[in-house]
Structure 1
Amino acid sequence: MCGVFGAYSTKGSPVLEDIYLGLCALQHRGQLSAGVAWTDDGTVRIKKGLGLVHEALSQNELAKIDAHAAIGHVRYATAGGTRPENCQPLGADYAQGPIAIAHNGNLTNARALAAYLAYKGAIFQTTCDSETILQLIAHQPGAVPLEALETALSKVEGAYSLVVLLNDCLIAARDPWGFRPLAIGRRGEDYFVSSESCAFDIIGAEMVRDVEPGEILVIDKRGIISRKRPPKPRHYRCAFEYVYFARPDSVIDGRSVYRTRKELGATLARCGGCPKNAVVAGMPDSGTLAAIGLAEEAGADFEAGVVRNRYVGRTFIQPTQRVREAGVKIKLNPQPGIFDGREAVIVDDSLVRGTTAGRIVSMIRGSGAAKVHMRIASPPVRFPCYYGIDTPTSAELMAAQMSVPELCRKIDADSLEYISCDELCRAIGLPKDELCTACFDGDYLEEEEKNDLLGF
């Protein structure tokens, strides 16, 4: 669930420091690498590296570079793994000029396209599916770059939100299904594109609107020009963005993430998810808003009962199980005295691999709670995601291997409850045919697409 950010100044103002700040605001979407790209005298320039934004990039250095158009990326590895060459943006100088691309999502037919391109003579420099788009463009040397990009996008399948530099313009593109979020912002004569609207606040920009599914935006000295592809019969906006990945101060496709998460908690309460006289606490920070919503709806006490070490990153998006488990041990700690002799209702956004839940139940029980109830503000995650979340096999998903009662025993809770897919859609405020809930119910875009990604 990488983060992408782009900027274009119609008056020629430097934008690389804006890119840096925008990437800092999107850091929650990827912690493995960060990078920026711009053009200089007809050549692509790229700075990128492994680690967090401040580790991979120098704000002082970027602030000195006079570039009026640039793109940036923070990476969360799915297809291609964590190899340094897979850091984005990716760029090249080809027959029609400089080009750079930053991509959020997974291309489900990347393996087949890569094989076709290799047969045509393409030499891949990375194992990242995003390079497929660059290669498709480069293999149209006689086409105008924008037309080559449109043709390339007509050949790829799956999820993509893109920011692209082509010569002297910035391109934003969202796949026709709308899997991944992408928003447009403006500050005077400067335009911005971001995975989430929260990144506009840090640079003093205002959100204009979301990029529509299937829309390609060209941003240059003329402003914004929209080029729309034929609409699809339905959309597949990722429900997990509202549940977990997006920052709560973002607005995605007109829906406040903050309000949605509180409503998810209220839904849990309406399902009878809170015993009388219980104390409610959220798993920081992903379960906090749902816990507040549950407590408000149930009329229960809410306490900040679990303290998070702010200097430890998200455990879910760490690349190995060993690192995830080590992270849980130092990341969370119960608040002394909060749960003494009382029933505890612990709310989390989801239960994927189960690394954190069992340890938290044990810690809460050890801190004096009479009973520990787990409440999950989403349906059970039973199916792998092939559109950008790092859950590639059902073997990694606890809910795919066990029933809810078995899961409850596994994490040693006194009770465990989820919401349904229908309740999830109602809380988000979008109909089922506007959301992707494949990780919950197996409703994939096309069955053959999920098989195509395996082995890439």
Structure 2
Amino acid sequence: MCGIIALILANRQGVAAAELFEGLSLLQHRGQDAAGIVTCGQRGRLYQCKANGMVRDVFDAQQLVQLVGSLGVGHVRYPTAGSSSHSEAQPFYVNSPYGIVFAHNGNLVNAHELRQFLDKEAHRHVNTDSDSELLLNIFANNLQQTGKIRINEEDIFTAIEQLYQTCHGGYACVAMIAGYGIVGFRDPNGIRPIVYGRRRASHAALPDHAPDGPSDMAYDYMFASESVALDALGFTDVVDVRPGEAVIITRAGIHKRQLVTDRVFAPCIFEYVYFARPDTILDGVSVYNARLAMGEALADQIVRVLGPENDIDVVIPVPDTSRVSALQLSYKLRLPYREGFIKNRYIGRTFIMPGQTMRRKNVRRKLNAMAMEFAGKNVLLVDDSIVRGTTSQEIVQMARDVGAKKVYFASAAPAIRYANVYGIDMPSPHELVAYNRNEREIAEAIGADHVIFQALPDLVAACNRFNPALKQFDTSVFDGHYVAGDVSAEYLRMLDSTRNDDEKMKRDASAPETIGLHNHFGK
């Protein structure tokens, strides 16, 4: 999972970099592996800074000052495919045609075929293993077929429509065309999220004699993976890019077009379970309200499994994502809610850390159990989901170490048993704790007295009750049904062989650093 952002200011003399930096900081939860910003100054000159690390580590005041320009694109990354080398930090750039900068969240399921096409037919060089670079080059190649010195909106819509026909998977993308404007689009099923909004320009547009000509814009515009980034920066009228829709924003105005209409709308339900911030609204659904509803439904499931007269003494969330669900669950079950784990906020998300050993160590560094809330009690731990089981096992053991009598473990999501192919770097299915295990066997694996999972229909109902127009979600990690219908058994076998922890560690250890791609270009 990654976070993407793009900004165009009405004032040509404005500085986009500072707000792109703030926006990326608000999307940091979506990726901690790398961060990058590319801006566009006068006459189409581009400026870049990107590297491995958190947003606060990659950028400082001096670097932001050097990112000149009133429009730009930013990205925070965790690796979905390929290694975590510096060369795969985004945004990516191609100079031909027109100078295009590109950032992407998601995953392509036909990357191998696209790579062969770009090599053998389009003759475009691809420098990394990232499917984001494939999307960029497909887009660039489509634009190049116009043969024009200057392009217009119709050319861009045509290029994206052709991209939809050839690129299969889940993706949300932002692009910047040097000296022209920014573009946002979303896969035809709407699996990955992207929103945009506007803000009344703080400064008047430049007069007609300005170096780059006049601006007709009265508003600044921003694309982002989540609405929270726009809210914090004062953008309003926030709407979702629709599945199969492209939105082009230039200083002449905003242009949008629905390019694909025959696909089912099925956003990824795991955004609501785990990835998105609770103060985000995606596709008309408040993530906070959805998690409250998940807690209510999970309370009913606990009564069905453990009975109304169970022996639970206290409900304790696994911070932070499960807090909202756990609080509503405790309210409905009329059980005390307590904060039993204190979190070190300077440790990253263990879900997206490489290697079992690293994840296991960081659970203990990240959380500290307070004995007074556990000693002599039967505790119900509530988490958003259980993936590998590594974190869950450590947390259960921590509860027992400080004196818990019984440890029940409840998941606000169903059991995860299948690979994710649309942009979440789930492990190999064989590394999922629920793979080929029932609830009793999962409880034994993580050391709990009992495990309770949310029922899938209840999870779906918890989300679409706030937007009945959402008839379907991508729930493939729970049921193995891939909504785009583009996943072969051969692809899943390939994924299984490349996503296991051993292979990832080997790739990262052997990946050479690419020289010369990380400086500010345009200097």
TM-score (norm 1): 0.95
Structure 1: distance between partners of 2:489 and 2:381: 34
The letter for the 2-side match of 1:26 is: L
Matched with 1:6 is 6
Structure 1: distance between partners of 2:382 and 2:88: 36
Deviates further, 17-26 or 319-328:
319-328
Matched with 2:183 is 171
CA distance change for structure 1 residues 98 and 25 in 2, over 3 Å: closer, same or farther? Answer: same
Displacement of 1:57 in angstroms is: 1.8
Matched with 1:98 is 99
Structure 2: distance between partners of 1:450 and 1:176: 22
1:182 lines up with 2:194 in the alignment: yes
**Residue pairs, 1:358-397, within 5 angstroms:** 358-397=393-432
**Residue pairs, 1:73-84, within 5 angstroms:** 73-84=75-86
Matched with 1:139 is 141
Matched with 2:507 is none
Which whole-Å deviations, capped at 9, do the CAs of 1:179-226 have from their partners, x for residues lacking one? 111111222111111000111233222252111111100011133211
CA distance change for structure 1 residues 279 and 207 in 2, over 3 Å: closer, same or farther? Answer: farther
CA distance change for structure 1 residues 117 and 423 in 2, over 3 Å: closer, same or farther? Answer: same
Matched with 1:307 is 342
The letter for the 2-side match of 1:307 is: I
Structure 2: distance between partners of 1:301 and 1:358: 24
Determine which structure has greater relative contact order: mean sequence separation of CA pairs < 8 Å that are 6+ residues apart, divided by chain length: 2
Q: Is the 8 A contact 1:43 1:93 kept in 2?
A: no
Q: Is the 8 A contact 2:343 2:366 kept in 1?
A: yes
Displacement of 1:73 in angstroms is: 0.2
More strand by share: 1
Deviates further, 404-413 or 424-433:
424-433
Matched with 1:443 is 481
Which whole-Å deviations, capped at 9, do the CAs of 1:368-407 have from their partners, x for residues lacking one? 2221100000100000100011115211211113211001
Matched with 2:233 is 203
Structure 2: distance between partners of 1:356 and 1:438: 22
Q: Is the 8 A contact 1:35 1:46 kept in 2?
A: yes
Q: Is the 8 A contact 1:44 1:92 kept in 2?
A: no
Displacement of 1:333 in angstroms is: 1.4
TM-score (norm 2): 0.83
Structure 1: distance between partners of 2:65 and 2:340: 42
- Bigger radius of gyration, 1 or 2? 2
Q: Percent identity?
A: 36
Structure 2: distance between partners of 1:83 and 1:236: 32
Structure 1: distance between partners of 2:76 and 2:68: 22
Structure 1: distance between partners of 2:473 and 2:362: 32
Gap regions ≥5 residues in structure 2: 201-218, 499-523
Matched with 2:70 is 68
CA distance change for structure 1 residues 248 and 60 in 2, over 3 Å: closer, same or farther? Answer: farther
Matched with 2:244 is 214
Q: Is the 8 A contact 1:44 1:93 kept in 2?
A: no
- Name the SS for the 1:280 alignment partner: strand
- Name the SS for the 2:84 alignment partner: coil
Structure 2: distance between partners of 1:8 and 1:321: 41
Deviates further, 67-76 or 135-144:
135-144
CA-atom RMSD in angstroms: 1.9
Structure 2: distance between partners of 1:233 and 1:142: 27
**Residue pairs, 1:39-438, within 5 angstroms:** 39-40=40-41, 41-63=43-65, 65-94=67-96, 96-120=97-121, 121-140=123-142, 141-143=144-146, 144=151, 146=156, 147-167=158-178, 168-188=180-200, 189-273=219-303, 275-276=310-311, 278-429=313-464, 433-438=471-476
The letter for the 2-side match of 1:153 is: Y
The letter for the 2-side match of 1:155 is: T
Displacement of 1:14 in angstroms is: 1.7
Gap regions ≥5 residues in structure 1: none
- Name the SS for the 1:139 alignment partner: helix
